[in-house]
Amino acid sequence: MKPDLNGKTVIVTGASSGIGREEAIILSIEKVNVAIAARCINNPDKV
């Protein structure tokens, strides 16, 4: 059973690449407000 995160805000660390990036994308598709935290900000617009 997935928790209902619709309208909630989450912070995703490591969101510039890899699993963190994919998680941020999936959460945003599911209407979750996503704050991303990353060490590398080369392409933040692609997240």
pLDDT, tens digit, 9 for 90 and up, residues 6-39: 889 999 998 888 899 899 999 999 999 999 888 7
Q: What is the DSSP letter of 6?
A: T
- Determine the Cα–Cα distance for residues 33 and 39; give it in Å rounded to an integer: 20
Do residues 12 and 27 make contact, with C-beta atoms less than 8 angstroms apart? Answer: yes
Amino acid present at 16: S
Model pTM greater than 0.85?
no
pLDDT at 29: 92
